[in-house]
Chain A
């Protein structure tokens, strides 16, 4: 079972470059999320989606964009990368039931130099 798959696992960007972090899930979950984890900190929500075509901002959305054209995919776009975006990025999905347990991908470690 693949679950939530993130690519790439590692990436180094130069300041001002752009990139897209890919996330796909095969559990037919309606809810998907992007978090970032800074050193020594818990995860903070960047954006989330409750279904195809519907996205909303989380706690730290500045500098990022998302889209949700299908149930399976939820890419995160970084425009004009900055050193402050150096972090580990996690994608998660959940089924929207009462417990709404979130299942996480393995993360993408991004460095902006």
Chain B
């Protein structure tokens, strides 16, 4: 079974600076998807960024980017120019490829609480 590990229960960053959140995963599959979800105090789960395992290029969405190291099974999230609104729980998640008969379910890590200091 796949597992997702987030080794940093809490992180903090100064406003306007850069922070990197770590995520590692364990799988024997070759095709899969990885996601970062943000959960602010409102509890709403919001998709931040996704990465397809077959793509070598790291995904980027505005101030958010990932460092995807497939061989190392590592998927870190970098937040540049941090803003107060970035403060939230961040969850890393894994999903098998549906096209290869994988499961539709998301496997989540335990999350990292990010604090942004003004």
What residues of chain A have their CB less than 8 Å away from a CB belonging to chain B? 31, 33, 40-45, 48, 50, 58-59, 88, 90, 92, 94, 96, 98-104, 106-107, 109
Docked-complex contact A104 and B4, CB < 8 angstroms: no
Docked-complex contact A58 and B105, CB < 8 angstroms: yes
Is B75 in contact with chain A by the CB < 8 A criterion?
no
What residues of chain B have their CB less than 8 Å away from a CB belonging to chain A? 4, 33, 35, 37, 42-47, 50, 52, 91, 93, 95, 97-99, 104-106, 108-111
Given A42-B91, A98-B98, CB of A106 within 8 Å of CB of B44: yes
Docked-complex contact A94 and B104, CB < 8 angstroms: yes
Q: Which residue of A lies closest to B106 (CB)?
A: A102
Which of A40, A43, A99 is the one whose CB lies under 8 Å from B50?
A: A99
CB-CB under 8 A from A102, the residues of chain B are 47, 106
Docked-complex contact A107 and B43, CB < 8 angstroms: yes
Whole-angstrom CA separation of A102 from B35 in the bound complex: 10
Docked-complex contact B91 and A98, CB < 8 angstroms: no
Given A42-B110, A106-B44, A107-B43, CB of A98 within 8 Å of CB of B105: no
Whole-angstrom CA separation of A45 from B4 in the bound complex: 14
Whole-angstrom CA separation of A106 from B40 in the bound complex: 11
Which of B33, B46, B108 is the one whose CB lies under 8 Å from A43?
A: B108
Docked-complex contact A88 and B43, CB < 8 angstroms: yes
CB-CB under 8 A from B47, the residues of chain A are 101-103
Docked-complex contact A100 and B95, CB < 8 angstroms: yes
Minimum C-beta distance from B60 to chain A (A): 16
Docked-complex contact B106 and A43, CB < 8 angstroms: yes
Whole-angstrom CA separation of A70 from B95 in the bound complex: 25
Docked-complex contact A48 and B105, CB < 8 angstroms: yes
Which of B37, B42, B93, B105 is the one whose CB lies under 8 Å from A33?
A: B105
CB-CB under 8 A from B91, the residues of chain A are 42-43
Minimum C-beta distance from B65 to chain A (A): 18
Docked-complex contact A50 and B43, CB < 8 angstroms: no
Docked-complex contact A96 and B105, CB < 8 angstroms: no
Whole-angstrom CA separation of A98 from B102 in the bound complex: 11
Minimum C-beta distance from B97 to chain A (A): 7
